[in-house]
Amino acid sequence: MRSRSILAPQWWDFTTLDRELLDDAARVTPEDLLGFSREGFEVRMYDTLEDFYLAEALEYITAWKQATADNPCGICGPIGPTEQLPLVARLVNELEIDLKHAHFWGMDEWVVDGKEVPFEFPLGFAKADHDLLFDRIKPELRMPTENIHFPKVDAAEYIASWDQARCLVMQGGQGDAKHWAFNDPFPRTGDYVDAPPTPEEYRQLGTRVVDLHPVTVMQNARTSGGGVVTEVPLSAVTVGPKETWKSECVSIWQAGAHDNPFGQRLTALMIAKKIPDSAVPMSLLADHPNVRFNYFRGGLGTCTVQMH
């Protein structure tokens, strides 16, 4: 029998893993992380935040510069982190990159009362992408509106867009629940009372509406809403593993502002050692052919006791 979560007993999450694996993750050093690189999984380390966020922004530029009429392509981007987005706009403007054939996929959006939130919603992801990126690009360089794809509750159009252009890179952060986008662990209900979905089952999921793990709700309140949990929706529509596996590369960026020192180590260990488990959704990327983990060294911290 799997352990019951100590964070949210009616849900699956990383605390239901074998204790020996969790203890191994807590002992991982930054040097160990670099040693986790293998074919299909690369670990990169950055010594300054300036270098970290510039490198993240350049993934947009590298992808968008490849877009032509015969080769429409682009990038799928997160809202956490967001520090790279104004840098992307500045680079596009300074380098005068014409985005008319480029594409962008948003990863997710909040859902309230069965509908995706309107554009004006203060915590909205489409709003953040426009405020921090698209509205800062010179009008003559901006990509067409039809090339900007955000998921909706009726996801058919969004899903179809993944076959209309190549996604060269899917960027992401890592949440406290070890998700990418809002691919959270499942609740312990129905067929998953005694065990979470198998990795094979989870990877069949496409863009869909999900109920958010309580840890994810708390994290979004902490990182985006000043801790006001009551303002954070409990559901979202999120890009799925099906679309993720259509991306030629998955690039995860960890500056230490979202997940903690332990979490940043755990998922890298599981991917490096090919230990996929849907209670740790990020670990399912162990089976993706091209994954990069990018770390800010100063954000790695330690897993030792420090009383505050």
The residue assigned the tokens 């698209």 is 134
Under 8 Å CB-to-CB from 209, ≥6 apart: which residues?
111, 153, 235, 236, 237
E strand or H helix at 293: strand 291-296
pLDDT of amino acid 308: 83
Which residues does residue 252 pair with via DSSP β-bridges, in sequence order? 172, 293
Q: DSSP alpha helices (H): ranges in the chain?
A: 19-26, 30-35, 49-64, 84-95, 125-132, 156-161, 199-203, 214-224, 241-244, 261-272
pLDDT at position 305: 87
Structure confidence at residue 253 (pLDDT): 97
Q: Which residues contact 123 (CB under 8 A, 6 or more apart)?
A: 110, 117, 220, 224, 225, 231, 232, 233
Q: Residue 290: helix, strand or coil by DSSP?
A: coil
Residue 51: HSE in the Cβ half-sphere, 13 Å Cα cutoff: 10
Q: Which of 241, 230, 161 is nearest to 199 (CA)?
A: 241
pLDDT attached to residue 41 = 98
Please give the DSSP secondary-structure letter assigned to residue 69.
Answer: S
For residue 74, what are its two tokens? 């682009």
What is this structure's pTM? 0.96
Q: How far is CA 214 from the centre of its chain?
A: 17
Query: How many Cβ atoms sit within 10 Å of the Cβ of residue 5?
Result: 20
Query: CA-to-CA distance for 291 and 178, rounded, in angstroms?
Result: 15
Rounded Cα gap, residues 171 and 292, in angstroms: 9
Q: What is the pLDDT of residue 243?
A: 98
Give the residue ranges of the chain where pLDDT is below 50.
none
Are the beta carbons of 77 and 107 closer than 8 angstroms? yes
